[in-house]
Structure 1
């Protein structure tokens, strides 16, 4: 068990680290791009359209290519996603989100490696795994986990 004062010191330092992340330029850029995304009616319309089509896609996925609407839904999903991703506000938000995730991954890796070389930390937004995939399916998805 960690001594009480050591425990308090660790908590204080982790609060300081959290505040540093919240006050960082990366977090500011993320918050600004998120705000702009939420305020952009065209981006919100594209996101809603994609989510609506995605619901149909999820239903079709249960039956795969044997579903009568499989080809049509697959084309709609791809077209809708492409249109959504091409929107400036959506693209800016995704970049800011990726940058924030990278910062958090770097912090996690630094803390983990400072503790022990044996501790694994997420990389590139992936969950913990040897391959970095982290899908948890045991490799059935085609990754190397």
Structure 2
């Protein structure tokens, strides 16, 4: 696990930003039902106490806010997913490059004992496994 954290350390701020954006997206997604509740409570049930112009203008304002909140929620979610993919891609590339560098440091006799295709397949498997591990939501 320590090796994993050493590879993630250079990208810690991107990961923190990704988590922050995920939190903002979730909060914005929770605000949407509140806005629709206000529409129901303040305008749909108050038909007799307000004029039609007040009802329509109030509902339109709240609907505009609801649309803006929904767009912001989806935008932050998209940016969060992009940041997560960026961290995972950089992380996997760094692991692959370090493994390849280590393989190239082997002497010819050591390298001859291992088949180069097996080594490359192992490096690719490590890279894909670690990327899958990071992308799994239950891993943390």
Normalising by structure 1, report the TM-score. 0.37
Of Structure 1 and Structure 2, which has the larger fraction of its residues in helix?
2
TM-score by length of 2: 0.38
Rg larger for = 2
Report 1 or 2 for greater relative contact order, CA contacts < 8 Å, sequence distance ≥ 6. 2
